[in-house]
Amino acid sequence: MKTKAAVIRQMELPRPYANSLPLSIEEVELDGPKHGEVLVQVAGAGLCHSDLSVINGSRPRPVPMVMGHEAAGVVRDVGSGVKNLKPDDHVVFSFVPCCGGCSMCAVGRAPLCEPAYEAAITGQLLNGGRRFSVPGGEVINHHQGVSGYSEYTVAAPESLIKIEKSYPIEMAALFGCAIMTGVGAVVNTAKVQQGTTAAVFGVGGVGLSVVLGLKLVGAYPIIAVDTLQNKLDLAKEAGATHAINASEVDPVSALRDLTGGGATDVFEAVGSEKALGQAYSATCKGGRTITVGLPSPGSELRIPALSLVAEERQLLGSYMGSCIPKRDIPRFLELSREGHLQIDVLNSRFITLDQVNEGFDALAQGEVARQIIKFDI
């Protein structure tokens, strides 16, 4: 079948992307689902900084590739051997398709699934192979087993989490990355306790999700740190009790003054070693610094080594919110349905697939949190 998709063929093209067009909108061929695969019509797909890091080359992936790792849609067909999904089921994609059988999955560390990692860096589905191509035979890679910037996509069932049909399907896309990563970091990785002093460095889409998670568990105060006032305003809407504009004051000094020596749990959601160093410096003795950002592979962090022991400090990494997607996405959706996670603050606007390059310009300039590509479905 044919499908309209956003394909990246060259990384590191200059901004503005509206001019350089790193994502070309193409009509590509999509093979139907083979054994153990599922055809999904995409309803919504989010624009995330992880996607931007592929476009700007800081996290290289094999090209050409159909982009998009945060999405939701409707099952249209299933291959042989698929037992738990059927046509018309609503699903959210997990950008790590947990195999369930590797050493990491066996101990509940789903985000670290080894076969999923190999599939991601080679642009394949979990069970191997690629289903996108163009006339003439050129094969196009998959993005994290999702490739959500396409009207239709094929995925492994391990990449799909069935959800209730009553939940708005376009907004459900946010649970595949932003919510899972941010809220998960709070409730799974850090297990933040009620009344804990907490701060978040960087309040884009994932950082705002961290704020939502901190509000959910009753942390106080919740301090948002960013260089952009519009992001800080969104953080206040999400539940932050205090805001520090790092373009106007030294954020470490300001946060330590506000808290009387630093916050207990400090989250870094920028993907910058500088921001992570600041977050660590703003953490109190006995406290924890939790990083959810993805810096470029060559970045290195320097911290006072003695502080880890002498001050009983902890530095924690959180990938995909330490979530088990089939467990956590449904429960986060239910919390949202019940009004405990106000996710509307994350979505700055809906766009069309044809506006995707302009959307990444807005994301790179810090004008928006999340944008969702809304497909006709």
Q: Does the structure show a pLDDT above 90 at 136?
A: no
* pLDDT number for residue 137: 87
Span 187-226, pLDDT tens digits? 999 999 999 999 999 999 999 999 999 999 999 999 999 9
Domains of the chain: 2-176+342-374 (3.90.180.10), 181-319 (3.40.50.720)
C-alpha closest to that of 189 among 278, 286, 119, 288: 288
Q: Is 136 left (phi over 0), alpha (psi -120 to 50) or beta?
A: left
C-alpha closest to that of 59 among 248, 226, 294, 232: 294
Confidence class for position 135, pLDDT limits 50, 70, 90: confident
Task: Measure the CA–CA gap between 359 and 319, rounded to whole angstroms.
Answer: 25
Looking at the chain, the whole-number percentage of residues with pLDDT higher than 90 is 98
Q: Does the structure show a pLDDT above 90 at 341?
A: yes
Q: pTM (2 decimals)? A: 0.97
* pLDDT number for residue 93: 98
User: Mean pLDDT throughout 303-327?
Assistant: 97
Task: Measure the CA–CA gap between 274 and 285, rounded to whole angstroms.
Answer: 20
| φ and ψ of 288, to 5 deg | -130, 140
- Residue pair 169/93 in contact (Cβ under 8 Å)? The answer is no
Amino acid in the structure at residue 270: V
Average pLDDT of the residues of the chain: 97
C-alpha closest to that of 346 among 167, 115, 175: 175
Q: Where are the beta strands (DSSP E) in the chain?
A: 2-8, 23-30, 38-46, 65-66, 71-78, 90-93, 132-133, 139-142, 152-155, 160-163, 198-201, 222-226, 242-245, 263-268, 283-291, 314-317, 347-351, 370-374
Helix axes 229-238, 205-217, angle to 10 degrees: 30
Task: Measure the CA–CA gap between 194 and 199, rounded to whole angstroms.
Answer: 14
User: Mean pLDDT throughout 74-81?
Assistant: 98
Span 255-308, pLDDT tens digits? 999 999 999 999 999 999 999 999 999 999 999 999 999 998 899 999 999 999
Q: Does the structure show a pLDDT above 90 at 39?
A: yes
Task: Measure the CA–CA gap between 100 and 113, rounded to whole angstroms.
Answer: 8
248 burial level (CB within 10 Å; 0-12, 13-18, 19+)? exposed
35 burial level (CB within 10 Å; 0-12, 13-18, 19+)? exposed
Token readout for 360 is: 């990444």
